A and B are shown apart, each in its own frame.
Chain A
Amino acid sequence: MIEIKNLHASIDANGETKEILKGINLSVKAGEVHAIMGPNGSGKSTLSKIIAGHPAFNVTEGSITFKINAKDRNLFELEADERAKSGIFLGFQYPVEIPGVTNFTFLHEAFNETCKFNGAPEMNASDFRKFLAPKLELLEMNESFLDRPVNTGFSGGEKKKNEILQMAVLNPRLALLDETDSGLDIDALKIVAKGVNALKSRYNATILVTHYQRLLDYIVPDHVHVLYQGQIIRSGGKELAFELEEKGYEWVIKEFEEKNLTRS
């Protein structure tokens, strides 16, 4: 479904160019769940944002292709909104607050833009409210969240639930969930996991960015990758997550550095 090859990316900040991603290779097929783990600052959010089309980063090398209508498309040819409407969803690590725009308006506009783009009929406000009801229920969210400004004054957990609500509305083929589990208590984690699992099918794929094994108890990954200093230094099955939980990242990093030393 998505194929990332030798991806290099940098950002210009304070007059300097900083290389963040240094040759990422990743291939995700429909129906799969991948987990990306790694220490702080390794580039996990950057990778997610680049896939979603964030304008702040410069891609200096490599490619990303994404299957749209059974054709491999160069993702860099699509604007962020076109990527979203073609089925890519980014659940933000830090959801953005937008005072003055209600959650309802936001969801409604996003939904109708996506329908329009895909040649499906748009929905009027009252039908859309009915359409939202079971999704709110799934996430155990009160209807009053719809009439509040987007994420404004929401608690950490509420913001994350709101991300999954948006995902439920847009029904993406590829969901990138960037630390959707952080800041959640165990009950909220179960609700969020229930939401994500309910949306899973053999037609769509999920990439989970997380620090914690805990989430992976509820959403079981097929593949686990360790990202370190802008590179995937190790991949494995779900047992890799257990190992990381037990022993931390140091041993993977050490093994990786030793391998590099012997190579050079």
Chain B
Amino acid sequence: MENILKAELLKNSEAILKKAHDLSPSYQSAMRNAQLHFDSLGIPSKKNEDWKYTSIAKNLAPRFYDQQESIIHDLPKNIIDQRGMIIFNNGIFNKFLSVLPAGVELDALCIEANFYDTFDSLNFGVALSPLSLKVLKNTVLDFPISIIHLVDDVGVNKIISPRLTITTHENSKVSFLEFFTSTSKNKLQYTTNAVTKFNLLPNSQIEHVKIQSEASEAVHIGLTEARVDRDAIFKSMTLDYGNLTARHNINILLNQAGAQTSVHGLYALKNSEHTDVFSTITHVAPHTTSEQLFKGILAGSSHGIFTGKIIINKDAQQSASSQLNKNLILSKMAHIDTRPQLLVHADDVKCSHGATVGQLSKDEEFYLESRGIPKEHARRMLCMGFGMDVILKIENLAIRKFAETMLIETFKSGALLN
């Protein structure tokens, strides 16, 4: 199945190149190289250790979205602050609706030759509207920039391929909310294959909160990648409120001394939703620190997967890393596979990691009930509290409020409770 689909995707991606005339010839040839790279790697089957729990081929749409213009004219909802918004519609950057604040500018596109995985190269090979931005030196924004990925009816049965690269220069500090959503919550079938990459130059800071809230029949594959230089700080949060199938690849490289990262997240799944988180944090340089708290709430017959690799290279002495994956299982049919993996090649480091899988605490339930709160309501409060614990780590208050509201909305349906 993987091979038939690969051949079809390859054929369709070649056709896409004909529409890439807005991009430079050298960029187009890099796209072609990326397609060939995809050809050599193919679509992973469950035999691939990294894809052991998710069979992705059966869920992929066969065609790419190939329009070059975004057609929406109205601002999507969910924008936190209109002083900073980057709008993608069906993977195409909408330059008319987007607003870049002072200090954030378009950057030259990078011609990439090294890819994280097959889906990164697939994305590069077909992304007709790649966007590169730079945050200028000393730019500190106190409001967040919203990056909205909106899919509408035109994107149905297509692969949507947004590609975004952001480079932050010295002493800058910016928060991003990256929100994946659709015009209608139900019935739209499509595949998002998104790539978002950050280059943090020395002493810059980024907070990135990704929220996956695609249509309930959609498939989401997304890469969040960051290269963190000297004394720079990358704070990442991945929130997944469920859809058909989602795969989050997170790849963080702590490249220079003093680089720091926090890579937190939450998946709250119900019905037959399936979310696969694959996170890799590599300590390349000495004196680097990483911190990770990923939580899962699993109801219905949902399936969550957490793979968290922490790699500490030989030269990364005096680095510190902590990792914890905690899961709350609310039904007998729900299922979690958790693989925390620590690969340490340096001897002078501080590391801790672990994973827990449990149910709601009877003592906590009784405590709330003994104060007059009925059982169902008490359970809902406890589940939300379990999730809020992660959301409270979001530093930007406007984004935190937004994430909190979404969590409350998700619980309103009640499907998350049993």
Contacts and interface: CB of A to CB of B under 8 A. Distances in A.
Interface stretch (B101-109, B125-133, B135-143, B360-368): B360-368
B382 interface: yes
Interface string A125-164: 0000000000000000000000001000000000000000
A114 B369 contact: no
B366 A80 contact: yes
A21 B377 CA distance: 31
B389 A84 contact: no
B57 interface: no
A183 interface: no
B373 A98 contact: no
Given A109-B377, A110-B373, A113-B372, A100 B367 contact: no
B354 interface: no
B5 interface: no
Interface in B354-387: 361-364, 366-375, 377-378, 381-382, 384-387
Contacts of B386: 99-100
A54 B392 CA distance: 31
Contact of A106 (B363, B369, B371, B387): B371
A212 interface: no
Task: Tell me if B's interface is mostly helix, strand, loop or mixed.
Answer: helix
Interface in A150-182: 166, 170
Given A55-B362, A55-B366, A56-B362, A101 B381 contact: yes
Contact of A101 (B361, B362, B369, B382): B382
Interface string A94-121: 0110111100011001100110010000
Contact of A113 (B367, B377, B387, B388): B377
Contacts of A85: 372
A109 B371 CA distance: 9
A81 B384 contact: no
A131 to B, nearest CB: 16
Contact of A98 (B369, B370, B385): B385
B381 A113 contact: no
A84 B372 contact: yes
B366 A54 contact: yes
Most A-side CB within 10 Å, residue of B364, B371, B374, B387: B371
Contacts of A245: none
Contacts of B384: 100-101
A90 interface: yes
A113 B374 contact: yes
Nearest to B371: A110
A239 interface: no
A50 B382 CA distance: 23
A96 B374 contact: no
A38 interface: no
B142 to A, nearest CB: 22
B351 to A, nearest CB: 24
A95 B362 CA distance: 13
A53 interface: yes
A88 to B, nearest CB: 8
A79 interface: yes
A100 B388 contact: yes
A92 interface: yes
B382 A81 contact: no
B381 A52 contact: no
A96 B367 contact: yes
Contact of B387 (A81, A95, A96, A100): A100
Contacts of B361: 96
Contact of B389 (A92, A100, A105): A100
Given A98-B364, A100-B384, A101-B388, A84 B374 contact: no
